[in-house]
Amino acid sequence: MIGWLDCSAGISGDMLLGALVDVGVELAVLQAAVDGLAVGPVRLTASVVDRAGIGARKVDVEAPDTTATRTWRDVQQVLGAAGLAEDVRALALDVFSRLAVAEGEVHRVPRQDVHFHEAGALDALADVVGCAAGLISLGLTSLSASPVTLGSGSSAGAHGPLPVPVPAVLALLHGAPVRGGPTPYEMTTPTGAALLAAAVNAYGPMPPMVLRRTGTGAGGRNPKEVANVLRLVLGEPVPGEGEGAVLLEANVDDLDPRLWPGVLSSLLVLGAHDAWLTPILMKKGRPAHSLSVLCPPATAPAVREAVFRQTSTLGIRDRPVGRQVLDRQERSVEVGGQRIRVKVGLLHGEVVNVMPEWDDVVAVAGVLGRPAKQVLLDAHAEARGLAAPEGSS
């Protein structure tokens, strides 16, 4: 199952909670995760409301008022001690970690010193943990989103009025397609932006899918300019459309070239389908490389982070792409009594490609004391038999 979020009216934690319940996630699943926080009596209630003529689900978080301000360390302790499934805990921690980094950038303080105000309140904790539990329960293989509408005007914050989009939202959505919006208020909250940053693999139009379910979550306002709803669309990849993938690209002109082999290898270890370099010439005649990484949507966040950490790039372009692949099998042949794995590609059940595994070829060449090119030729000759029609010589 794949999912797509329509963020044309922005996103907040309660809007996503509503969309999850409306798409079929039991409210009890979300409530159980919130109860696991053990931070007080926090109750979720769901109702059906109207937003510009569209029926939508509104989830409200009923929590006692508190003046307590939680730091990033406090939130870590709360989530670490909570009775949560590990994948739900990991996603919730990722959301708050991104919030802490963004707030740290805004206030020019280390992440560990960030004080959450609105984001550390009980209702925000419930939003994040409830959304994490709902998303995990769907078992999605990928989640993409439309360009995100942020809003305009100003918003009241703990330190006074803030311009909209608020600084934390801009920090959280670096690299995402965004726009202002038709209403003079905040349409995307920091919590909503952090949930997107942590859970979404790619941005763009709704991917091809066999439509199964649609959920509509309501925001608190009901403006005349736009239907204040977040839509969650679920479906299955369309047969023949290929697999969804994300293509990450970055131009790098100041990295020691001796580092590139290790970078490419590490990206493949993280689950990238492929990673390659293209020599390019940049402005002022500077020689450089364009790094391209093709990866499954689910691994895109980890791959993106690795590119930032292991190269000197300051920005990454990404876009969803289609990917057509042959059915694959792994078989083996013997050369000199040694086993070599062979990748076999099938089209409608017919073997159309065979390729010996290069690492095995090199290892067998070392064992036999023969040049790798000769072992490769022998492996190819043996592998050709895998593609021969049954009964032929």
The pair phi, psi for residue 198, each rounded to 5°, is: -85, -30
Beta strands in the chain (DSSP E): 2-6, 43-51, 54-62, 70-71, 115-116, 142-145, 148-149, 154-157, 160-163, 178-179, 202-203, 209-218, 229-237, 243-252, 274-281, 287-295, 317-323, 327-335, 338-347, 350-356
Say which CATH class 327-387 falls into: alpha beta
What per-residue confidence (pLDDT) applies to 59? 96
pLDDT band, residue 86 (cuts 50/70/90): very high
Q: Determine the average pLDDT of the residues in 11-30.
A: 96
Q: Determine the average pLDDT of the residues in 127-155.
A: 91
Mean residue pLDDT across the chain: 88
Asked if residues 150 and 187 have their Cβ atoms less than 8 Å apart, the reply is yes
Q: How far apart are CA 353 and CA 343, in angstroms?
A: 8
Architecture of domain 243-323 in this structure = 2-Layer Sandwich (3.30)
pLDDT digits (tens, 9 = 90+) for 358-393: 999 999 999 999 999 999 999 999 988 876 544 443
Question: Which residue is listed with tokens 């993409």?
Answer: 144
Question: Which residue is listed with tokens 């062979």?
Answer: 342
Query: Is the full-model pTM beyond 0.75?
Result: no
**Is the pLDDT confidence value at 118 over 80?**
no
What residues does CATH 3.30.70.1380 cover in the chain? 243-323
**Is the pLDDT confidence value at 120 over 60?**
no
Q: How far apart are CA 14 and CA 221, in angstroms?
A: 12
pLDDT band, residue 150 (cuts 50/70/90): very high
pLDDT band, residue 160 (cuts 50/70/90): low
Q: Does 176 or 17 have the greater pLDDT score?
A: 17
Q: Determine the average pLDDT of the residues in 167-180.
A: 90
What residues does CATH 3.10.20.300 cover in the chain? 327-387
Asked if residues 69 and 117 have their Cβ atoms less than 8 Å apart, the reply is yes
What per-residue confidence (pLDDT) applies to 392? 41
Residue 88, CA distances (Å) to 1, 268, 386 in order: 18, 26, 45
Q: Determine the average pLDDT of the residues in 1-24.
A: 96
